[in-house]
């Protein structure tokens, strides 16, 4: 019932001024909001508070990881003034790639060309609104894994001792078989 009474006051000649001076600010705010929203339709233009433009997001582009080998995939994260539509990301390292809206930003992936030379490459964002941003991608040579230390058998041992392992082991096996055969003859013959 209180809201009905306050609504009648809001439509009276005193209007919203009485509501702003009311003792209960919460009830006043709830009742003034519909009057302010309806105001721009009757007035020549919207109030100055409602007409202030909201600042857009920053324009940027990021590459993750920022250092990569040829043939690997990188993730792209970007932002334009309007992130509800896609944009294009361009680089000599991977060509042209579209980034699409997702969770309020623009996302995409790109594969670095297999035959791209090591070096730093510019990655440029081209928004549909004309905004641009850029960052750098570093391409490094393909790294080959190093061999482990030569610490034992299995081809890891080197030098003169390695050349004697197989023949020495074979000679010991043959000698053991000869000794076993001779011992067996003695046990059965004598």
Given pLDDT bands bounded at 50, 70 and 90, which one contains residue 107? very high
Tell which residue, 27, 8, 28, 26, has the closest CA to residue 17: 28
pTM, whole model, 2 decimals?
Answer: 0.47
Q: Label residue 60 exposed, middle or buried (CB < 10 Å: 0-12, 13-18, 19+).
A: middle
What is the CA 17 to chain-centroid distance, rounded? 52
Average pLDDT over residues 103-109: 94
pLDDT band at 181 (very low <50, low <70, confident <90, very high): confident
Average pLDDT of every residue of the chain: 73
State the residue for tokens 């009905």: 4
pLDDT of residue 153: 61
pLDDT of residue 142: 75
Spatial separation of the C-alpha atoms in residues 106 and 81, rounded to whole Å: 11
Amino acid 133: pLDDT: 94
More confident residue, 9 or 78: 78
Give the pLDDT confidence of 37-71 residue by residue, as tens digits.
444 444 444 444 443 333 345 899 999 999 999 99
């Amino acid at each position: 019932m209180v809201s009905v009474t306050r609504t009648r006051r809001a439509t009276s000649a005193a209007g919203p001024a009485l509501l702003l001076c009311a003792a209960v600010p919460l009830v006043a705010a709830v009742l003034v909001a519909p009057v302010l929203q309806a105001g721009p339709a009757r007035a020549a233009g919207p109030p100055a508070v409602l007409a202030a433009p909201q600042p857009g997001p920053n324009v940027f582009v990021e590459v993750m990881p920022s250092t990569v080998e040829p043939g690997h995939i990188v993730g792209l994260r970007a932002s334009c003034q309007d992130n509800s539509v896609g944009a294009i990301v361009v680089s000599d390292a991977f060509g042209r790639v579209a980034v699409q809206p997702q969770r309020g930003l623009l996302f995409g992936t790109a594969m670095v060309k297999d035959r791209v030379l090591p070096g730093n490459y510019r990655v440029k964002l081209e928004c549909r609104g004309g905004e641009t941003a850029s960052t750098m991608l570093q391409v490094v040579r393909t790294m080959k894994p190093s061999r482990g230390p030569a610490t034992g058998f299995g081809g890891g041992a080197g030098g003169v001792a390695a050349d004697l392992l197989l023949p020495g082991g074979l000679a010991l096996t043959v000698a053991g078989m000869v000794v076993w055969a001779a011992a067996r003859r003695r046990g059965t013959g004598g």
